[in-house]
Chain A
C-alpha cells in the first residue's frame, strides 16, 4: 500500500500535505482501496470553519457513505471541484488529483500532532 513519506496522516485515514500555513487533505490509498468505487463526494463549502476531528465532507461508495474529518482546526479555503464530475479520482489518484479540500490552519504547528508515514503504516498493519 502506498504511504508517501512527505505527508501526515490521521487514524481516520485522511492524509495531510503541509503547504505553508495551509493543509491539503485527501483520503489515503488504503482508505480508497477499502471503499472502492467512490461514486459521490460531498465537498465542504469554501469559508467553512473546521474543528479538529470534526466531520467536514462525505465520500460515498456504492455500498455506503463515509464521513471525512478535518485533521486540524482551520478554515476551508479551496475545494476540489473536479471531484463533482469525476469522484473516481479518489480511487485513481488518492494522493494527487483526488485531493478533497485545503484548510488554512489556525495553528500550523498542529500538524506535528498527526501521524507520520511510519506511524500510519503501522496503524494499517
Chain B
C-alpha cells in the first residue's frame, strides 16, 4: 500500500461526494483527489464516447485587473494578451528568467481590463507569489482559488448535457471562449476548453454550490451515459492528445521551445520574462526535444522515469507513460536529443531491465476517426 504523506491534505468541496461514490482517493500535490470511481478504462471511454465530469476544484484562479493589467500580463506570460477580445482565452506559459516553465495556464479576458488565470493546483501559490513579486502600478491581483469550485465536463455529448441543464436555447461559448450564465440563482463561468481532446467545458462557480452542481450534472447526464471521472482517466485522455502535464513533462528545467510548444510563445512581443532564452532557443535549436512515442509490441506499458534507449545508448527517460485505452497500446513522452527526436525514429524503452521496441510519433497519439 502507498504510504500517505504526512503533509496536511487539502480537500475540495466535493470530497464527501467522491467518497460517497466509492472513489479511490490519492494524494495529488497538497490535495487528496479521486483517481478513479469504477475503472480508468470505463471512465476514459465515457469521455471519448459520451460525456464525463471531473472535479477540478483544486485548480487555481487568479484575477488580474486594472488599467495596466493587460500590458503587465504581456510581460509575465509568453502568449500575446493583445490578441484576446473580451470573452476569449489562450493557453500560455509563466516562465522564470532562464526561460524555464513555472506553470502552464489559460488566461481569459473577462472584461476590457480584467483577466482570469486558470492555473495548476500545485503551482497556484507559487504563481501568485511570483506575480506579486513582479507587480507593477495600476494592477490588482487576487488569488481567488479558495472561492471557486470547478468541474471539467468533457465528451461529445457535452452540448446535449448543457441543453438539459440550462435550456435548449442556450448556446455554449465557442472554443477557447468564456461566458457567464445564470443558473438557479447562481453564476456559472463556462470556458469552452479542456484537457481531453474532446469537446468540453470547464465550469467555475462559488465553492459552496459544489455538491449541488456536481449532483445535478450527474443526474441530468444519466441518460447521456455520464460518468464521474478521476485523475487516472484525466491522465490517459491528456496523454493520448500529448497535452503536457506540469511537474512531469514541464518543469523549470525545460522551456516551451524544447517542449514543442513554441506556438504559445509570441517572440514578436518586445519584452517578457524568459524571452532572451527563448529567442536563442528558437534561433540555434535546443539540445533536446519533447516527443511522444508508442510501444510497438503488446507488452508492459511505459511509466515515468523508464529509460529511453537508442542504438544501444540511453538517451533520456520517459516523462509520462501509460497504457492508452483508446489504442490499447503503451504510449508516453520523453525529452530526446534533437537530432533523433523525429517521428519514425525507432527507440527502446527499458522496463525492469528489459528493452521493448517503441517508435517516435507525431502529435497527437490518438486521432478521432
Question: Are A and B subunits of one complex?
Answer: yes
Q: Which residue of A lies closest to B44 (CB)?
A: A62
**Contact of A62 with B300 in the complex, beta carbons under 8 Å:** no
Per-residue interface assignment for chain A, residues 45 to 58, with 1 indicating a CB less than 8 Å from any chain B CB and 0 otherwise: 00000000000001
Nearest-neighbor residue (CB-CB) of A12 within chain B: B1
Q: Does B12 interact with chain A (Cβ within 8 Å)?
A: no
Residues from 33 to 64 in A contacting B, C-beta threshold 8 Å: 34, 36-37, 39-40, 42, 58, 60-64
> Which residues of B (225-249) have their CB < 8 Å from a CB of A?
232, 235-236
Known: A39-B323, A42-B352. A62 touches B303 (CB 8 A): no
Of the candidate stretches B35-43, B166-174, B185-193, the one touching chain A is B35-43
Residues of A contacting B39 in the complex (Cβ-Cβ under 8 angstroms): 36-37
List chain B residues, Cβ under 8 A from A42. Answer: 300, 352
Chain A residues 1 to 54 lying within 8 A of chain B, measured CB to CB, are 34, 36-37, 39-40, 42
The answer to whether B300 and A65 have CB atoms under 8 Å apart is: yes
Whether A62 lies near B236 (C-beta < 8 A) is yes
**Which listed residue, A34, A37, A58, A60, touches B41 by the CB 8 Å rule?**
A37
Complex alpha-carbon distance, A62 and B323, angstroms: 6
B325 is contacted by which of A58, A60, A62 (Cβ under 8 Å)?
A: A62
Secondary structure at the B interface, as helix, strand, loop or mixed, is mixed
Q: Give the CA-CA distance A61 to B39 in the complex, in Å.
A: 10
State whether A62 and B40 are in contact (beta carbons under 8 Å apart), knowing that A39-B323, A40-B323, A42-B352 are contacts in the complex: yes
The complex places the Cα of A64 from the Cα of B26 at a distance, in Å, of 13
Query: Known contacts being A62-B236, A63-B35, is A37 close to B300, with CB within 8 Å?
Result: no
B38 neighbours in A (Cβ, 8 Å): 36
Question: Is A60 in contact with B40, judged by CB distance below 8 angstroms?
Answer: no
Within B312-369, the residues touching A (CB, 8 Å) are 322-323, 325, 352
Which A-B residue pairs are the 6 nearest by beta carbons? A62-B40, A39-B323, A40-B300, A37-B41, A36-B39, A37-B39
| Sample of 28 A–B contacts (CB below 8 Å) | A36-B36, A36-B38, A36-B39, A36-B40, A37-B40, A39-B301, A39-B323, A40-B299, A40-B300, A40-B301, A58-B300, A58-B352, A60-B301, A60-B323, A61-B40, A62-B40, A62-B41, A62-B232, A62-B236, A62-B301, A62-B325, A63-B36, A63-B40, A63-B235, A63-B322, A64-B303, A65-B300, A65-B303
